[in-house]
Structure 1
């Protein structure tokens, strides 16, 4: 069955961060997802919905419930969620058990606004994964697609690794 549309839910995280000074003061800015997909000349229909603008360390159980609710009630069955990397696996766990939905969480280790960011590559991986992966919760980071229940962020490597 061909994918008719991909839903992209934005929640904040490093991918959308703006930095203001040498002390790394930041805030979550407007999402860059639409610009990244336009630059990549993505033609597959997609819809972008901004759920929240938070660093993932600030996400609460209520926020995760709102994310799950948005996924559950979305008409699309292929969904990408931009998310901060620090608690991405916690949100993946909160989304487990959804029926008939392919959900891919993605983030960046440096903001998309930085010249040498991993954001565009990671988003492309997530967009592709959402189209071809079976239903379940996935994390697309570092050039790898991980089962959302079998991955962790290794801070010493600044990368995601399987568990």
Structure 2
């Protein structure tokens, strides 16, 4: 069995931009390239959907939940758009003995300057060392999905109080 499962749902991490007017689509998952570049092996990828997180609804969040629960792995990394990542993480509820970590990016993984590679690496470290539960990792920090918010002005995640 692989050490962990990556479930991809889209978001900025996989975006492909076509012009300066921000025309984009969600492209192929970039997780294979990022993890291979870091020498990471022994994982399986489940490309679940290709959506901007602002387009996700409760049916999509339930699909993520079901994919996590159906995974043969006890450790699951979910790459997700940052706008509604916490909402989807909260939707998971009880995941039993699984460790689930959500992460995303403010700039696509295809860009030369991106936070995607760091965020994925940090999320993977958290995934492999954290106790069972659901976490959100961004900007070098680990958050409880019930106590986090995205600060759009600062371009980062922070404690919600």
Instruction: Give the TM-score range, shorter chain.
Output: over 0.9
* Of 25, 28, 35, the match for 1:27: 25
1:6 maps to which residue?
A: 4
TM-score normalised according to structure 1 size: 0.95
Q: Which runs of 5+ in 2 are unaligned?
A: none
1:150 paired residue among 147, 150, 155: 147
Gaps of 5+ in 1: none
The within-5 A match list for 1:1-163 is 5-43=3-41, 45-163=42-160
Contact 2:2 2:44 in 1 (8 A): no
Give me the TM-score of the superposition, normalised by structure 2. Answer: 0.96
2:87 and 2:145 in contact (8 A); partners too: no
Distance 2:77 2:71 in 1: 12
Does the CA-based 8 Å contact 1:96-1:136 persist in structure 2? no
| Separation of aligned partners in 1, 2:155 and 2:118 | 16
How many residues are aligned here? 160
SS of 1:149's equivalent in the other structure is: helix
Q: For 2:121, what is the secondary structure of its paired residue?
A: helix
Following TM superposition, the consecutive aligned residue runs of length 4 or more in structure 1 with deviations greater than 6 angstroms are none
